[in-house]
Chain A
Amino acid sequence: MQRNPYVPIPVDVAKIVTEVTTKDIKTFRLTFVNKEDEEQFKYLPGQFAELSIFGKGESPIGIASSPTQQGYIEFTVQKAGVVTSELHSIEEGTRMGVRGPLGNTWPIEYLEGKNIVVVGGGFAFTTLRSLIHYMLYEENRSKFGNITVVYGAREPGLLIYKEELALWEKRDDINLNVTVDKGDATWKGREGFVPAVCKDVAPSSENAVAVICGPPVMIRFTLPEFFNLGFSKENIYTSLEMRMKCGIGKCGRCNVGSKYVCKDGPVFSLAELDQLTKEY
């Protein structure tokens, strides 16, 4: 008997981390109430889940943790609507629900054996963080070539996952480039917009795939840099966002042409997006 796909899996909020100085982005670590639910929750980077708070509703959020991190799942959530505002007001220990994993994944098998360029902007770094964790995992690292990361935010206080960025900075098996649009007195790192940094870092397109997530304006200016570097549309991937409710291709609102972002996406290559209508 198939499980009712609308009934959320019970989870407990184990840990809440406020990521940014504006305090409107938090990361929630959730642990499963039932062991068998944890075993069944098999996911890969790029997927999302519906976070459920009874009485408020559900919100589709990308999974920010990696399956290589066992015992919990993590979501980084910006405070915006009814559900996310409620999430931001809860405390550790609260019981809530998760429906998922939903949607497709970053093309993990395709990425294996290739050099990977990860580009993220602002708060849209969450499923990219999942991917980086996945690739850096001891047993996985050798499956991937060079890993280059360009990650930017408007200002230092808005960078998320700061502790991890510091750890990755120290490693020699990942080329991390963190940038802010405008630094402050304490900022010693790079300054500049993501597209410019990409041009500067100039990762080779040789046997490489780029995975890009960020605000539309960042993507618009970053893509030409990658085309200049010789990346084909087949080798650039991104993730779409749409208003969603069911998350399983039934409620009918998140389609882009014949494809449902919740079921057939959210991950698409630019070549695939070219085949779709521009309604997102």
Chain B
Amino acid sequence: METRIIKKENLAGIVKKLSEDMLVYAPVQEEDNVLFKVLEKGMEPLIEFDNAKNAPKNFFFPQTETMMRYLKGERGEELTDVPEEMQEAVLFGVRPCDARSFVLLDNVFNDSKYRDPYYAERREKTTIVSFACVEPPYTTCFCTSVDGHPFSTEGIDISLVDLGDEFLAEFLTPKGESLLVRLGELPKADEASMSKKEALSGEAADKIKSKVPGRSIKPWLDENFEHPFWDTIHQSCLACGTCTYLCPTCHCFDITDEIKKEEGKRIRSWDSCMYWLFTMETSGHNPRPSQKERWRQRLMHKFKYFVDNFDAIACVGCGRCVMYCPVNIDIRKIVQDISKL
């Protein structure tokens, strides 16, 4: 593994330069929000920030994307093209929790039988650069409870560790290493930097105070699809999509058609299990008739179904749904409450 040292004051400039030749998606300040966005010419990414409000999954799986286009033909609408704009890209400034979300999403979008070409090609052509969480940014962070770690390298090609005045850059994968030549001359990291990183890593994990029994509720979930507990969580739920839309692992979507004049598009847009329409059938039958069933689905999907199918919890502990739920329905509390049943 190659390791380098990057001076703190140089990092933003290096990324800005990178964005002149390739697509860079990075956190930027937009009024009051820190958001992942495409770096436009001349823009620098944020280096000091907590985490972005929107999850970086947006880059591989945008909220709205065109899957194919069609035109009116002689005998009906006929396919004209399938977008293939995938170019080499860098996804910069990802937190380790969010990087793990890609590994989880790969299970869904890149399975052997049906590969989702839109997601998979972007994913293959993108190098992921992360900031290890030397200081976990929020008290609501709970990555260590869901198989993660503030220094996790899962899903990461280049990991940056803040050592104070400089960053230790670890080039973890061949994809990461191939970006090295484009970063300019950088000094190699010495032993001291590496051992400093090790020490920081241990300290960082201790700083995560929010603990949730993420794995241990599975046996209860296996047995209790019907249980009075499910009546208790959804009462104040607004049935909005905030939790699912900000979640780095939620991946449900809708496919719809739109025609403007002669030109038509089939588009994919995010959808949410919190919406009543999500499972509504044409007949009027809805297998999840109330918010109770929808909440049960959300929780079961993350802590049981996904575990059944892929042996992983579909939650990375980023805390977005906890911080931004308009009515403070806290998934940490729900999991804790279940563990006490």
Which residues of A227-246 are within 8 A (CB) of B? 241-243, 245-246
- Beta-carbon contact of A5 and B114 below 8 Å: yes
Partner of B271, one of A58, A253, A279: A253
Alpha-carbon distance A139/B115, docked complex (angstroms): 36
Q: How far is the CB of A57 from chain B (nearest CB, A)?
A: 5
Which residues of A215-270 are within 8 A (CB) of B? 241-243, 245-246, 248-258, 263
Q: Which A positions have Cβ atoms within 8 angstroms of B?
A: 2, 4-8, 10, 12, 53-58, 80-81, 84, 90, 93-97, 241-243, 245-246, 248-258, 263, 277-280
Q: How far is the CB of B286 from chain A (nearest CB, A)?
A: 9
Closest to A102 in B: B114
Residues of A within 8 Å of B252, CB to CB, are 251-253
- Beta-carbon contact of A7 and B79 below 8 Å: yes
Q: How far is the CB of A275 from chain B (nearest CB, A)?
A: 11
Known interface pairs A246-B253, A251-B252, A252-B251; A54-B271 also in contact (CB < 8 Å): no
- Beta-carbon contact of B288 and A54 below 8 Å: no
Q: How far is the CB of B307 from chain A (nearest CB, A)?
A: 9
- Beta-carbon contact of A246 and B255 below 8 Å: yes
Alpha-carbon distance A278/B280, docked complex (angstroms): 16
Partner of B253, one of A7, A10, A251: A251
Q: How far is the CB of B238 from chain A (nearest CB, A)?
A: 20
Partner of A277, one of B113, B225, B282: B225
- Beta-carbon contact of A258 and B279 below 8 Å: no
Closest to A54 in B: B77
Chain B interface residue count, CB cutoff 8 Å, equals 47
Alpha-carbon distance A235/B41, docked complex (angstroms): 65
- Beta-carbon contact of A250 and B108 below 8 Å: yes
User: Does residue B273 face the partner (Cβ distance < 8 Å to A)?
Assistant: yes
Provide a sorted-by-A list of 22 A–B residue pairs whose CB atoms are within 8 angstroms: A5-B114, A6-B68, A6-B117, A7-B79, A54-B78, A55-B77, A56-B257, A57-B255, A80-B282, A95-B75, A97-B79, A243-B278, A243-B279, A250-B108, A250-B251, A251-B255, A252-B251, A253-B278, A253-B279, A256-B287, A257-B300, A279-B287
- Beta-carbon contact of A95 and B287 below 8 Å: no
Alpha-carbon distance A138/B321, docked complex (angstroms): 60
- Beta-carbon contact of B271 and A251 below 8 Å: yes
User: Does residue B283 face the partner (Cβ distance < 8 Å to A)?
Assistant: yes
Partner of A54, one of B76, B116, B301: B76
Q: Which B positions have Cβ atoms within 8 angstroms of A?
A: 67-68, 70, 73, 75-79, 82, 108-109, 111, 113-117, 225, 251-257, 259, 264, 266, 271, 273, 278-283, 287-288, 293, 297, 300-301, 304-305, 308-309
Known interface pairs A55-B77, A242-B281, A248-B114; A280-B305 also in contact (CB < 8 Å): no
Q: How far is the CB of B71 from chain A (nearest CB, A)?
A: 9
Residues of A within 8 Å of B257, CB to CB, are 54-57
Q: How far is the CB of A17 from chain B (nearest CB, A)?
A: 20
Closest to A246 in B: B255
Alpha-carbon distance A249/B77, docked complex (angstroms): 27
- Beta-carbon contact of A241 and B309 below 8 Å: no
Residues of A within 8 Å of B273, CB to CB, are 252-253
Most B CB within 10 A of own CB, among A94, A245, A253, A278: A253
Alpha-carbon distance A256/B296, docked complex (angstroms): 12
Residues of A within 8 Å of B301, CB to CB, are 252, 255
Closest to A280 in B: B287
Residues of B within 8 Å of A93, CB to CB, are 75
Residues of A within 8 Å of B78, CB to CB, are 10, 54, 95
Alpha-carbon distance A280/B253, docked complex (angstroms): 19
- Beta-carbon contact of B309 and A258 below 8 Å: yes
- Beta-carbon contact of B254 and A251 below 8 Å: yes
Q: How far is the CB of A97 from chain B (nearest CB, A)?
A: 8
Q: How far is the CB of B132 from chain A (nearest CB, A)?
A: 31
Residues of B within 8 Å of A84, CB to CB, are 282
Known interface pairs A95-B73, A280-B287; A250-B254 also in contact (CB < 8 Å): no
